[in-house]
Amino acid sequence: MVVHQRINKRGLRSTALPVMLCISALGLSACDHGGDKAKAKTSKPSQAASQTVGVSVVSVQSLPRVINASGTVTPWEEVPVGAETGGLTAVSVNAEEGQTVRQGQVLVAMNDTMLRAQLHQQEAAVASARATLAEAQAALGRSRELQAKGYLSTASLDTATARQQTAAAQLEAADASRNETLARLGQAVVRAPVSGLISRRSVTKGQIISPGVELFRIVRDGRLELDAEIPEADLLALRAGMPATVTSDQVGQTTGTIRIVTSEVNTQTRVGLARISLAPGSGFRSGMFARAQIAAGAQPAPTIPTAAILYRQNQPGVFVVGANNHAQFRRIDILARNADRTAANGLNPGERVVVEGAGFLGDGDSVRVAASSGKTAPPAVAVAAKR
């Protein structure tokens, strides 16, 4: 019995010891986990408040500026062509849409039979009036001779003078009527007032033409231009003579030159127009939609690394780091860009913008500026780090 009790006691002791060790281990483990949680709570804010970023300083540089615009192709000058006389029938139409015509070329010929008959009549009337005037002048000469010799009274001389003046007036009237008919006869042929491209034809053979009604529309010299819509902020940068590249999905690409920049800005859309003359033979047609890239020249402007630009809601912007090392997102207007640098409005020289790590920032985040911003950082980053 004694031995059995000792064994039981030893067995009890041998089983109690592992249990106590386990309880102690669990306690220590619980303490360790509690300490880790405390450390995590204290370290979490410090990590969020010290995100490391690379920055660059905004500097003023001159970059070749390209202004993008779009608009509608229109004629440089479109000339409407109509008839000056009316009531005559078109017997021939000698031009079609899309045809190039020369100044003075016959476009429409009208039936002039009646006008030619009137002209013959009026020429005969002129000849008759001229003969009457010659007779009256001769009679007046004789009357003056007789009156000078005392054989003719003053009243008779006055009568002869009046007859001569009446005959002269009748000749002038007949001559004027003949000239009017000659003018109408010339107007029975419609000629091209300028050289250019026929853009519209609204007359047909056999049509009775009314005076003043449009028959053709001619694009003077075939010159077309693009009415490019320019935001008012970019209008002041444009000048006449600046080169442009004009592109259409249907035709392709051609060159152009700014002919004029309009002085008026639309009050609703806040855009103005730059009229870009297109190169001859470009293949563009009036009414087409086209895009233009205008080379506005190198102009000084605040510049930043192109890699610093982010897009939020399809609007470009950058994170600007203030004196308190908080990053604020700011929208910008891009003026010019290349692979490395971008010129933009909305920034001030000397401000710091985030280049590396900008994609992980939120508005108002606290940041820590890195001493070195990596291989892609411009030299301005090293300057910002020293400051």
Q: Name the fold adopted by 112-185.
A: Helix Hairpins (1.10.287)
User: Do residues 270 and 255 make contact, with C-beta atoms less than 8 angstroms apart?
Assistant: no
| Phi and psi at residue 375, to the nearest 5° | -70, -30
The pLDDT value given to residue 44 = 43
C-alpha dihedral over 98, 102, 107, 113, to 10 degrees?
-170
The pLDDT value given to residue 33 = 44
Query: What architecture is the 51-63+300-386 domain classified under in CATH?
Result: Beta Barrel (2.40)
d(CA 72, CA 359): 39
Query: In the structure encoding, which two tokens stand for residue 325, read together?
Result: 């090392």
The pLDDT value given to residue 31 = 41
DSSP 8-state symbol, 238? -
d(CA 71, CA 273): 9
d(CA 299, CA 229): 21
Where the chain has pLDDT below 50, the residues are: 1-48, 373-387
The pLDDT value given to residue 50 = 67
CATH 2.40.30.170 intervals, the chain: 68-76+222-298
**Among positive and negative, which fits the CA dihedral 189, 192, 198, 201?**
negative
Stated as kind and residue range, the H or E segment containing 280 is: none
pLDDT by residue (tens digit) across 197-256?
A: 999 999 999 999 999 899 999 999 999 999 999 998 888 889 999 999 999 998 999 999
Separate counts of helices (H) and strands (E) for the chain: 5, 22
Identity of the amino acid at 46? S
**CATH 2.40.30.170 correct for 68-76+222-298:** yes
pLDDT by residue (tens digit) across 91-134?
A: 999 999 989 999 999 999 999 999 999 999 999 999 999 999 99
Q: How many CA atoms lie within 13 A of 321 on its CB side?
A: 27
DSSP per position, 260-278: EE-S---TTT-EEEEEEEE
CATH 2.40.420.20 intervals, the chain: 51-63+300-386
The pLDDT value given to residue 372 = 59
Q: Name the fold adopted by 85-110+188-221.
A: OB fold (Dihydrolipoamide Acetyltransferase, E2P) (2.40.50)
CATH 2.40.50.100 intervals, the chain: 85-110+188-221
- Output the furthest CA–CA distance in the chain (Å, rounded): 202
Q: Are strands 367-369 and 51-57 parallel, antiparallel or unpaired?
A: parallel
d(CA 115, CA 179): 12
The pLDDT value given to residue 37 = 45
